[in-house]
Each structure stands twice: as C-alpha cells, then as structure tokens.
C-alpha cells in the first residue's frame, strides 16, 4: 500500500494542483467522500463545496462549483467547472457565483422541465450555504 497518490486539479481557466497527496476530501453530489491511496476506482460528480487536500508538504483547500472526480487507486483527477484556492476567495467571488446560480435558477423557471428548476434551485442553495460556511 502506497502512502500517497497523484492528485491533479484542473479547471477551464488553469491547472491548480499536481502533487502527491495522502488524502483528498471531495464534495461529491451524493455527499462528501475521502479518497486515499488504493481507493476503489470511482467516478463521481461534484457539488459546490470545499475540496480539501492533505499532502506530506501540508494541506490546501479549494472552492469548487461542480465538475467530476475520477479516482483510480493511485491517482485522483478532479475536473472542476470552477475552482479557486480558498485563500484567494473573496466575498466578491462568492457574490458573482451566487448571482450566476440565481440567474440559472430564474432561467430554468422560465422553461418547462421541472427537473432543471430543481437542479438550479439546489445549486443556488449550495452556493448560498457555501458563503455561510466560509464566513464570507
């Protein structure tokens, strides 16, 4: 059993991390999960939340708004819709994300597919809760 696994975090804007990690807590769509070396192969979608990385050099945290995580035993790749190191997140960032979620919710309500409305409402609630969680 290895003590670390390769961890990569990328978003459309940039590559945020590529390092050896001992554990990564993922905000999965079905609940938080922690990936560690030799984890069973898994693919999951992400919900808005904080992704926490533990590494021999220290820990780091990233705000993610959604995306996918692929765990493959000795490697974890996260493809985030948007990702920002928590240390860089400002109230302005969060306000912009909440505004986008609110606009998506309003646009969904104008359509006819109720499942899209429900998804947009959940995204909006998750983004608002994230601001409360981060004390911003």
From first to last of its 136 residues, the chain has per-residue pLDDT tens of: 469 999 999 999 999 999 999 999 999 988 899 999 999 999 999 988 899 999 999 999 999 988 999 999 899 999 999 999 999 988 888 888 788 878 877 877 777 666 666 777 777 777 777 766 666 5
**The predicted structure's pLDDT at residue 70:** 97
What pLDDT was estimated at residue 135? 63
**What pLDDT, on a 0 to 100 scale, did the predictor assign at position 11?**
95
Query: How far apart are alpha carbons 76 and 37 in whole angstroms?
Result: 9
| pLDDT value of position 90 | 83
pLDDT at 1: 46
């Amino acid at each position: 059993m290895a003590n670390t696994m390769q961890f990569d975090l990328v978003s459309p804007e940039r590559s945020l991390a590529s390092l050896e990690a001992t554990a990564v807590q993922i905000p999965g769509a079905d609940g938080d999960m922690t990936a560690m070396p030799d984890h069973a192969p898994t693919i999951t979608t992400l919900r808005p939340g904080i992704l926490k990385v533990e590494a021999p050099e220290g820990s780091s945290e990233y705000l993610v708004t959604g995306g996918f995580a692929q765990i493959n035993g000795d490697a974890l790749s996260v493809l985030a819709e948007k990702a920002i190191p928590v240390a860089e997140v400002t109230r302005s960032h969060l306000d912009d994300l909440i505004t986008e979620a609110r606009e998506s919710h309003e646009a969904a309500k104008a359509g006819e597919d109720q499942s899209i409305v429900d998804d947009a409402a959940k995204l909006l609630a998750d983004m608002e809760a994230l601001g409360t969680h981060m004390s911003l």
